[in-house]
Structure 1
Amino acid sequence: MYLHNIVLTPAGDNATSLTIDCRSWVHSKFDNPEKRVFFTSKSYLPSQTPSGLERFRKKELANIRGDGTGERKPFERIYDYDTYNDLGDPDKSEDLARPVLGGSKEFPYPRRCRTGRPRTKKDPLSEERSSSIYIPRDESFSEVKGLTFSGTAFRSVLNVVVPSIKTAINDTKLSFPYFTAIDSLFNEGVKLPKQEGLSFFRTIIPRIIKTLEDSTDNVLHFETPEMIDRDKFAWLRDEEFSRQILAGVNPFSIQLVTEFPFVSKLDPEVYGPAESAITAKLIEREILGVMTVEEALKKKRLFILDYHDQVLPYVHKVRELEDMTLYASRTVFFLTSDEALMPIAIELTRPASHTKPQWRQVFTRCWDATGAWLWRLAKVHVCATDACYHQFVIHWLRTHCCTEPYIIAANRQLSAMHPIYRLLHPHFRYTMEINAMARQSLISAGSIMETCFSLGKYSIEFSAIAYGQLWRFDMEALPADLIRRGMAVEDPTAEHGLRLTIKDYPFANDGLLIWSSIQQWVGDYVNRYYPTASDVMADHELQAWWEDVRTKGHADKKDEPWWPTVASPSELTQVLTTIIWVTSGHHAAVNFGLYHFSGYFPNRPTITRKEMPIEDTSLEDFVRFWRKPEAALLECFPSQIQATAMMTVLDVLSTHSPDEEYLGQEPEPAWTADAVVNAAFERFNGRMREIEGIIDARNADPKLKNRCGVGIVPYELLKPFSKPGVTGMGVPNSITI
Structure 2
Amino acid sequence: MGVPRRQAPACVKEETPSALLKYREDELGALRGDGETTERPFQPWDRVYDYALYNDLGNPDLRQDLARPVLGGSQEYPYPRRTKTGRPAAKTDPRSESRAPLDEEIYVPCDERVGFASIPAPTLPPLGGHFRSLADVYRLFGLDDLGRLPEAKAVINSGAPFPVVPQVISVNPTHWRKDEEFARQMIAGANPVCIKRVTKFPLASELDRGVFGDQDSKITKDHVEKNMGGMTVQQAVEEGRLYVVDHHDWVMPYLKRINELPASEEKAEVSQRKVYAARTLLFLDGEDSSMLRPLAIELSSPHPEKEQLGAVSTVYTPPDSGDDGITAGRFSTWELAKVYASANDAAENNFVTHWLNTHASMEPIVIAANRQLSVLHPIHRLLKPHFRKTLHINAVARQIIVGSGDQRKDGSVFRGIDEVTYFPSKYNMEMSSKAYKAWNFTDLALPNDLIKRGLAKGDPKKPETVELAIKDYPYAVDGLDMWAAIKKWVADYCAIYYADDGAVARDSELQGWWSEVRNVGHGDLADAPWWPAMDCVADLVETCATVVWLSSAYHASISFGQYDYLGFVPNGPSITTRPVPGPDAGAEVTESDFLASVTPVTEALGFMSIASGPMGLKGTEVYLGQRPDTEQWTRERRAAEALAEFRARLEEVAGNIDRRNADPALKNRTGQVEVPYTLLKPTAQPGLVLRGIPNSITV
> What TM-score, normalized by structure 2, do the two folds share?
0.89
**What does residue range 27-42 of structure 1 map to in structure 2 within 5 Å?**
40-42=7-9
**What does residue range 172-251 of structure 1 map to in structure 2 within 5 Å?**
172-187=127-142, 222-251=163-192
Instruction: Tell me, yes or no, if structure 1 residue 258 matches structure 2 residue 205.
Output: no
Q: Where does residue 599 of structure 2 map in the other structure? A: 638
**What does residue range 369-518 of structure 1 map to in structure 2 within 5 Å?**
373-445=332-404, 446-468=415-437, 470-490=438-458, 496-518=464-486
Q: What one-letter code is carried by the residue in structure 2 that aligns with 1:698?
A: R
TM-fit CA distance, 1:525: 0.7
Aligned equivalents of 1:87, 1:492: Cα separation in 2 = 38
Aligned CA distance change for structure 1 residues 345 and 626 (closer, same or farther; 3 Å): closer
Instruction: Tell me, yes or no, if structure 1 residue 106 matches structure 2 residue 76.
Output: yes
- The CA deviation string for residues 590-637 of structure 1, in whole angstroms up to 9 with x for no partner, is 11222211221111111101121339x9xxxx9xx9885322211111
Aligned equivalents of 1:82, 1:129: Cα separation in 2 = 14
Asked if structure 2 preserves the Cα contact closer than 8 Å seen for 1:521 and 1:681, the reply is yes
Aligned CA distance change for structure 1 residues 509 and 604 (closer, same or farther; 3 Å): same
Q: Where does residue 279 of structure 2 map in the other structure? A: 330
- The CA deviation string for residues 185-214 of structure 1, in whole angstroms up to 9 with x for no partner, is 12289xxxxxxxxxxxxxxxx966xxxxxx
Aligned CA distance change for structure 1 residues 686 and 45 (closer, same or farther; 3 Å): same
Q: Hey, which of these two has a bigger chunk of helix by percent?
A: 1
TM-fit CA distance, 1:79: 0.4
- The CA deviation string for residues 107-130 of structure 1, in whole angstroms up to 9 with x for no partner, is 100000111100001111110111
Which range moves more in the overlay, 431-440 or 271-280? 271-280
Larger Rg: 1
What is the percentage of aligned positions where both structures have the same residue? 42
**What does residue range 335-354 of structure 1 map to in structure 2 within 5 Å?**
335-338=284-287, 339-354=290-305
Aligned equivalents of 1:238, 1:524: Cα separation in 2 = 45
- The CA deviation string for residues 253-302 of structure 1, in whole angstroms up to 9 with x for no partner, is 000001111122223454342332111232212213x2211111110000
Asked if structure 2 preserves the Cα contact closer than 8 Å seen for 1:609 and 1:636, the reply is yes
Give the match's secondary structure for 2:488.
Answer: helix
**What does residue range 281-680 of structure 1 map to in structure 2 within 5 Å?**
281-288=222-229, 290-322=230-262, 323-338=272-287, 339-354=290-305, 358-367=311-320, 373-445=332-404, 446-468=415-437, 470-490=438-458, 496-614=464-582, 629-666=590-627, 668-669=630-631, 671-680=633-642
TM-fit CA distance, 1:84: 0.5
Aligned CA distance change for structure 1 residues 452 and 138 (closer, same or farther; 3 Å): same
Give the match's secondary structure for 2:226.
Answer: helix
Give the match's secondary structure for 2:596.
Answer: helix
Instruction: Tell me, yes or no, if structure 1 residue 684 matches structure 2 residue 646.
Output: yes
Aligned equivalents of 2:164, 2:286: Cα separation in 1 = 38
Q: What one-letter code is carried by the residue in structure 1 that aligns with 2:275?
A: L
Aligned CA distance change for structure 1 residues 362 and 420 (closer, same or farther; 3 Å): same
Aligned equivalents of 1:109, 1:434: Cα separation in 2 = 18
Aligned CA distance change for structure 1 residues 392 and 325 (closer, same or farther; 3 Å): same
User: Could you tell me which of 665, 671, 674 is aligned with 1:712?
Assistant: 674
Aligned CA distance change for structure 1 residues 538 and 628 (closer, same or farther; 3 Å): closer
Query: What are structure 1's unaligned runs of at least 5 residues?
Result: 8-18, 22-39, 190-205, 209-220
Asked if structure 1 preserves the Cα contact closer than 8 Å seen for 2:168 and 2:564, the reply is yes
Asked if structure 2 preserves the Cα contact closer than 8 Å seen for 1:326 and 1:381, the reply is yes
Aligned equivalents of 2:602, 2:26: Cα separation in 1 = 53
Aligned CA distance change for structure 1 residues 188 and 516 (closer, same or farther; 3 Å): closer
Q: Where does residue 50 of structure 1 map in the other structure? A: 17
Q: What one-letter code is carried by the residue in structure 2 that aligns with 1:577?
A: A
Aligned equivalents of 1:561, 1:522: Cα separation in 2 = 25
Q: Where does residue 657 of structure 2 map in the other structure? A: 695
Q: What one-letter code is carried by the residue in structure 2 that aligns with 1:412?
A: R
- The CA deviation string for residues 280-327 of structure 1, in whole angstroms up to 9 with x for no partner, is 232212213x22111111100000000111111111010110301211
Which range moves more in the overlay, 495-504 or 406-415? 495-504
User: Could you tell me which of 28, 49, 68 is aligned with 1:61?
Assistant: 28
Asked if structure 2 preserves the Cα contact closer than 8 Å seen for 1:43 and 1:670, the reply is no
Aligned CA distance change for structure 1 residues 527 and 112 (closer, same or farther; 3 Å): same
Give the match's secondary structure for 2:668.
Answer: coil
Instruction: Tell me, yes or no, if structure 1 residue 140 matches structure 2 residue 113.
Output: yes
Aligned equivalents of 2:42, 2:463: Cα separation in 1 = 49
Q: What one-letter code is carried by the residue in structure 2 that aligns with 1:733?
A: N
Q: What one-letter code is carried by the residue in structure 2 that aligns with 1:332?
A: L
Q: What one-letter code is carried by the residue in structure 1 that aligns with 2:233?
A: V
Asked if structure 2 preserves the Cα contact closer than 8 Å seen for 1:270 and 1:352, the reply is no
TM-fit CA distance, 1:484: 0.7
Asked if structure 1 preserves the Cα contact closer than 8 Å seen for 2:389 and 2:698, the reply is yes
TM-fit CA distance, 1:495: 6.2
Give the match's secondary structure for 2:192.
Answer: coil
Aligned equivalents of 1:187, 1:538: Cα separation in 2 = 61
Aligned CA distance change for structure 1 residues 101 and 725 (closer, same or farther; 3 Å): farther
Instruction: Tell me, yes or no, if structure 1 residue 74 matches structure 2 residue 44.
Output: yes
Asked if structure 1 preserves the Cα contact closer than 8 Å seen for 2:342 and 2:572, the reply is yes
TM-fit CA distance, 1:685: 0.8
Aligned CA distance change for structure 1 residues 726 and 439 (closer, same or farther; 3 Å): farther
Aligned CA distance change for structure 1 residues 173 and 528 (closer, same or farther; 3 Å): same
Asked if structure 2 preserves the Cα contact closer than 8 Å seen for 1:533 and 1:568, the reply is yes
TM-fit CA distance, 1:95: 1.1
Asked if structure 1 preserves the Cα contact closer than 8 Å seen for 2:223 and 2:317, the reply is no
Give the match's secondary structure for 2:489.
Answer: helix
Instruction: Tell me, yes or no, if structure 1 residue 20 matches structure 2 residue 11.
Output: no
Asked if structure 2 preserves the Cα contact closer than 8 Å seen for 1:594 and 1:653, the reply is no
Aligned equivalents of 1:333, 1:373: Cα separation in 2 = 19
- The CA deviation string for residues 35-61 of structure 1, in whole angstroms up to 9 with x for no partner, is xxxxx3311111111111011001111
TM-fit CA distance, 1:372: 6.7
Aligned equivalents of 1:177, 1:685: Cα separation in 2 = 49
Aligned CA distance change for structure 1 residues 254 and 626 (closer, same or farther; 3 Å): closer
Asked if structure 2 preserves the Cα contact closer than 8 Å seen for 1:318 and 1:454, the reply is yes
- The CA deviation string for residues 503-543 of structure 1, in whole angstroms up to 9 with x for no partner, is 00001111111111111111111110010111111110000
Aligned CA distance change for structure 1 residues 260 and 636 (closer, same or farther; 3 Å): same
Aligned CA distance change for structure 1 residues 179 and 541 (closer, same or farther; 3 Å): same
TM-fit CA distance, 1:367: 4.6
TM-fit CA distance, 1:657: 4.1
Aligned equivalents of 2:688, 2:420: Cα separation in 1 = 24
